[in-house]
Structure 1
Amino acid sequence: MAIAHVFYVTFTHLIYLIYFSHSSNLSLKKSFIHALTLNRIDKTNFCNNIKYMRNKAVKLLEDIEANKLPSLPHVLVKLLQACRDEEICFDSLSDIISQDASLTTKVIKAANSPVYGRARHLNSLKHTLMFLGFDTIKSIAITASIKQFFSEYSNEKTHFLKSFWHHSLTCATISRSLAELTSYPYPEEAYISGLLHDIGKLVIEPEMDEEYKSYKHGVYPADEVLKQEEDTVGISHPELAAIMLEKWNMPDVICDSVRYHHANTDDIQQAHQLAKIIHFSSLLTSDIQNNKQSVITDTGIRLFDLSESIIESIVSEANDEARSLAASMDIDIGAVDSETGQNKDELKQIQLAQEVRDTAIVQNSQNIINTDSSEIYKSIQQSISLLFGINNSLFLCIDENQQFLSIANKQYLTDTCLFEDLKIDINGNCAVSRCLNKKQIIDSFSAKQSGTLSILDEQIAHGLKTEGFICLPITDNNQMYGVILLGSSHKEALKLLNNISLLKLFSDNLSRKIQQHHNYVKNTSEAAEINSELFLERAKKIIHETNNPLSVIRNYLELLSKKLNEDKPAQSDINTIKQEIDRISNIIVRCKDAPDVHIAELAEVNINTIITELISIYKASLFATHSIEPTLKLDKKLNSVRLDKNSIKQIITNLLKNSVEAMQSGGEIKITTGKININGRNYIELKLEDNGPGIPKEVMNNLYNPVTTTKGQEHSGLGLSITKNLVDRTGGSISCKTNENGTAFSVQFPETK
């Protein structure tokens, strides 16, 4: 028995020793070693200490969410300006966001939120931004700016953030340089790890005293800073940052590199290469006195066998890059406490206020929500996630008879069976029904305390996977549209209800937007019916006028084919022409039916192949007679997709003919294909650009109307209307940009198998 006890204690010591050899919590390490030396470790109390540390981290993350972490106003101004630029690309957005640890954190958190589909690990910040889409990135920028503008923000806070920004950016730049120099295969991982290595400080900073805030970022050695953090909040900033990144499904190597960046060099020597890179980068950006410069040289040799001159070169280049970026955003990183610097910072705060105002005006100038009805509720969930940090929300829409609420389509739902066939009587006694009838914000927690919480309410909370929920009525005048449920913990609900004016403002604005959306859908439906009748009337005339000459042409082709030998090259051209005539005949026959009646012949098609075939036909005919010079830039890596080949051919043909007919004196047509990700979904994009005179404004307003044409009486004006209908049937979208220098059509086809 005694032997067994000794073995158990020794084994337990070994497990704890392994754990704490990887821990960055110095005070717990010392306590453990002391207890181990005296051979009187209390296993229960010790495990409780570990649990306490983790719980403390979770509490901090609840109190100070990632979407509340501050950024320099200088960076936010730059980002808001970029978001208003219609020509902005993901590269430019990535360049701005990747300079700021707080914004990068917000992007990573959003990408790993369930309402965005939880992205698998994306190997670069640019890919993460593409996964989220432009609309989400703009929402993150606007939300972050508005929250910071209305928060308590002082010059002292700006000084702290400027120092933090400079330190983090320099560390990130050095990390990437070291990764490239030491052949680490993922330099972008090294950059992000270096950028976020001190993000825990932003979470801890509000809890700390003025002495802590006065420390220089990168103070060396860091023992005193880490001890003060552990004494005050129970956890150090490296450990807190690692737990935060783990929570957002970041790769283990990144989390560990952040966790151990203040570890001893002796301990880090056998660690993963990325951990060594971030450890050394953090050391290189530390505030090391001259009498301790040998620490850098010694560490560089021990970890990477780097000479002092190489190290100096890496640091010098990183500092130059940081200064250049700071200058581009008017960030004074020199004399932080100077009067000039303070004036600049105050002006930047004023500029941020102006940018917030201008951006709000731009957002409110959007007249009508024209989001497809299958996506609008998902976009509402995403807005709630960004604005309130709530990932478990639900939109319940009311039926036409204004009697029952049910789950709106196309939303993120938790893995539950409780919402299947959910139907709530609005005259019932549950919290959701009372919310809509009284047009008041109601929460399940208050209902439980007052004894009015129904079993249905409890089941809704279970389905949302939360303690309870807040109900927001979505009504406008006497019209009821539904209820939004915000699933939350009791603590989160109290924080939201303390700012109930914000909830009411959100509810009222959303009610107006939903009304606009309903009006849009109704008007679009009525316009479609009118256009359908016009379409059929004109189509019947065209069918009769075109069938006869097509039959004559095909008969002559048959005679011509018989006169030629079978091995003549022209036989191939004749067959191609006959196939196209047959396709035209099929299209004309289908025009007898309503435009939305269509039986798609789905098959695996390669859009590049279709484009190449059509260009080959038109080069010797349509392009030659109109002096058109085509240019192709096709992505050879495009996958085949399951679509209706004839529809795709018709779409491309109509767009080509539209461009050719607009350029009566000749011109150039550029056709581009590639992949694009829109709000987390993959599409194949086809772009067709010409250098014609552009489309008049009055035509652009009714571009896809069947009766709109600027090409004379010989043109039916049906081309773009048919094109729009065919694109819609594929589940894709089409857009057009035009000016006096030309017109560009962009078509996105869903990448489905």
Structure 2
Amino acid sequence: MKTIFEKIKRSAPLPQLPQVMLQLIRACGREKTDIDEVTQIICRDAALTAKLLAIIASPHVNLAKQVTTIKSAVVYLGLDTVRNIAISSSAMQFFKFSKLTDNFNINRFWYHSYKCAVLAQRIARQEKQINPDQYFLAGLLHDIGTLVLMATFPEEYKEIKARVNQGQNEFEAQTDILNIDGPKVSSWLFNQWNLNPMACDAVQFLNQPLTRIAEELVHVKILFMANLMAEPENTDVTQDALVLTDIPAAVLNEIAVQAENEVQQMAKSLNLVLGEPEQGYNLLAKDLKDVSLFFGTLDNLLRARDVATLLGTVQRGLEIIFHIPRIFFFLQDREKDLLTGTCAKEDRYYNIITSIALAMNNNASLVIKSVNTGISTASMNQQNLAASDTQILRFLETPALYAIPIVGHKGCSGAMVIGVDSDLAQTLDKNKTLLDLFSRQTGICLENLNFHETYAGDLSDKKMEAYATLTDKVVHEINNPVAIIRNYLEILQLKLPEKHPAQEEITVVKEEMSRVSSLLEGLTSFSKPRVGGSQQTINLNEMCSRVLAVLKKSILMPRQIRVQTELDDTMPKATLDSNGLKQVIINLVKNAAEALEKGSEIRFKTRLVPGSAKVLIDEKKRLPGLVEITIQDNGPGIPSHIKERLFEPYNSSKTGTCNSGLGLSIVHSIVREMQGRITCDSSQGKGTCFTILIPLVPDTGPRLPNDEIMS
């Protein structure tokens, strides 16, 4: 006997009802699932309940109090653990346990176990028992011993089944072949799981004759009666059951009818056909495949280091699972209160989609509606679509669009818009849980990327602020003694004869003090960058040409450095801080010239960034985009140790005592003030390229005519 129990401890996993496992995986994957819902799902399957109780009773858990209900087990383990148990158990079941033994019907097993649980609970209530839920648990698990014997001794159980088919009682056949029967194993398991001793006692009497049961306590009788009455589609109370209770036959019959109705209703909710167990396994196999594919996608999502890579990963994951023909993304720009479009760069509509913007207050748009409500929506069978939806639908080249909100911890970040037909729309509707997983993980990853970008910017700003504060203090403290020294030098020169030998030395000292003053002035310009702050509407190319003309005469021509210009003729007039931009260009060109040898070259280029201009389709307005200025040289490049801290103050690759290392810090501050970005691409020996992106202030001009909206 001891050897059998030791083998049972190492036995294969028990088969759970696939439909229940699917419900549990989906429920635990939803964000708002509560403990009660999960408990109700687990209550529907004996093997799953046994799995949880075994974990709760394991030595490493070491609970101080007894677990008497399924809900208390779920509360202790938590939803994440329960979900992991469900997924791992499903995988084990599908790959190792899809067929337990010949002619074993798991649907029938579920029916008998669940009906026994419902009957035991209802009879216990009628008998005024203190805790009817304990009887539900005992009824649900009463046959778990038989299931364990099948799993542990599959070859021996074939012989047991053969004897049962020839008319022998199953418990007797178990004892003949294995020297133990199912009720004894169930009782042993109940004891291992620290269940109520009354349940352990009641279950081992299930193999006893009726005459013996009539002499036992009420808890034994209740479970025995429930087992008798739990035969498939049996609503007639047998005379044997009436012998064990004082409950009137009419009441007991009513309990049987109610239990049968509850079981049939539950089977219907599970799409369970009692004669077709394979149906559940097929569904389970599909869900396991989808879950596996999703977690493969999730791993790639977590590895993404930029938005384009992240969205590309999402698109590939959805294509693999759902065979989606085309997908567009619309991401929220909270500062401008817009959704801006994007898609795969390989898509032939990339330039058009990236030019589309949707105002967040446009509730007529289905895409905006999905973001504002956080609910997926489709255009199938909808009339009078918004102009933006119609345009997007045209580029999707499908009968309908399906908008899925991208929801993270901090709210909605945008929407995934999928091209669908009626069949694909139905498939997506049936897989909302998986889509919600994609949506939530995409939203969380987007939030993380945005956080890191914002954090890096804020950190840079804080550093600059700290440097500026320190600079102000240094300038203030040094200016006073410098002014005093210069005054004393003037007085000293006046006191000495004009041709005194010391006059020349005093002049040298005065010149050095002037250099100190120049350095202090440079520090002050870093502390308070000279950004004009006044917005002017200018011809950007003309302004750049004028600045370069001045720089050619003063800096570039004396050093014999050529300038090649490539100015975008399509550049519209821009409204921006022209004084600040002039200072940026002067600093960058001057820096490049100082690093170059004679005969070197600087390439200066402007362009309107393709796709950065946005079209508000429904409002019939066009929003200007971004202007890009690149300043590239063919010089020695920037050393890697300098490049890592390029825009930090006091960081310079130049030599000489006059350099403060503040030029690029000032440039960075000005560009940030203009809500722009500056980046540097440089390799030693291959030159340096600075790229500046500056947003053009939105035009509030007239609305566009209909025929120019997407031109």
Place the TM-score, normalised by the shorter chain, in its bin: 0.3 to 0.5
- TM-score (normalised: structure 2): 0.40
- TM-score (normalised: structure 1): 0.38
